[in-house]
Structure 1
């Protein structure tokens, strides 16, 4: 506790009450809810993951998360914390979140044993942030056509062949082609839809030369190769925390037996993680800190988890599948933040003012420090001193003199524009007489009370007892 004298050189100083509070995360630095920029394709009977995460990364463990289908009467597909009584019965026992990863902003939904009726648009919504993102799920099922001998056409001395294919979704079309890829004139296609919503198609053709039977559906082409898909925005991580770099195959296919390489093109030893694991090829800086979601690779999940993030982890990552000769890039932005602390630094007798100091440690990248009045206008302050520690984290500090002409509310703001993060501490200066000023070595929101006549009387008695 520091008592501000009633007068300095016969001039009355602007006495004040100091009230300190901290905004841990201001609205302008709020996370967005991010989903994929392409539809997610699933095969009936398999499991699928609908990607969704917070950017910049923040702990979502204590947040409400709602996955819903706007086209359904009972819209809720999954809600966290879990409320089974609110869930659409069609999804009961088939949906889950990655609970252990929610602290890293992971909100992705896993749907097990996909059904044809699961196809549609899903909404990933975080009520606490009032932010959402949509994911389009395309459901399909395929099988290989079977050609059989159906008889002879004596009129043209030809052979009648039948092509049949069962277990398709959505409804496909059946085509007959000759050796040059030209369409053959064939009988009408017969289509049957079973109780499982899967389609069976069949057709006959009379031929006297070589031919090909081809079946395709607009939603999913058998010959089509999967793409490697990553996020369309940078991924933000906080130093010391874990982070997930999203990457997956679209359309979904089993990647368990494929080689997957995560690398940093800007490094001399580029490999960050490789599957199947080859520790001897990995950059030493990442040893023991990277992993894939092995059990989810059969669903096309290739995302990389980096533990205990360092400042040096920042950069562009490449998710590459050599078997497909396809890749995707992910930009990782690394940051660290802390709340500024305001303390009493002395008196300015010349202008009868109070000198305040603001300091904030543990930032990355280097931030800027600003002083503002109650209207948000910048105050003229001393130069910002910046120190970079052995852990690569920055400490910034600055001083300002509070005069009578300033408004009652003073703010120290520390911000990092690239990561869209900022922290603030406020002081309230109502201009009352003889008060105590808290050393303000914390920013926990505690108010400092005004000194009363009783306080001064008790102080005098205490001094007399001490003497």
Structure 2
């Protein structure tokens, strides 16, 4: 009996020792390089466990100084502990947690998001953490310094770009003229529900080029009513704006029609001159006939 108890407690001691050793060997690592991004975009702050360990049911916490960015406990997120300014903008990778991936995705970046972030992993009373630095930069929205001129009936491109030219596909981009919505792009697609009726079916962005910061607008079949000042802007990060003036001129008439009109005018002038010449000729002939008649009368 004593031998059995000795073996039992020895096994428990060994099991506890192995468990403590495994927990003690787990390390947490964050990105060693600062993460740099731009206003309005989305980023991932890297954090993972080595060796890989299933962290699905463990406590994972992200903070920025004293502000709680994201918390996950007992297999689910706890939004009630999150600071209001991060609401709806953070998430962990559910599948990745199974392999020890504790990385945080942060969307719709703001300038105020810049700072030092702490990634924490807790098992029981043991907490391990690491840090990653995030720098959020602003940008310029550049329109056209010169007016854009187009003929009525033509398609025209109103140029606008981000400087530096980073990926704009995750941003909200809006085009306006006066108080009218010309075109709206958000959630990575065109959203023209609130678009002014005058521009319905006539506007588009260059989606393939938005990856390089091109947010120019194509406006089809322009008319004189389209002339005016346009604004392209990103309603984040202090609402940077670009201005573009559009001038619309009447389309020149068909050159063939012009030639026909000129030909008719020339023909009319020639006919008029010929008529005058004939009239003068007849008038001279009549005068001579009268003179001959007078001479014949005198002879008699």
Same fold (TM over 0.5): no
Give TM-score scaled by structure 1 length.
Answer: 0.28
Q: Which has the larger radius of gyration?
A: 2
Structure number having the greater helix percentage:
2
Whose relative contact order is higher, 1 or 2, with alpha carbons under 8 Å and at least 6 apart? 1
Give TM-score scaled by structure 2 length.
Answer: 0.43
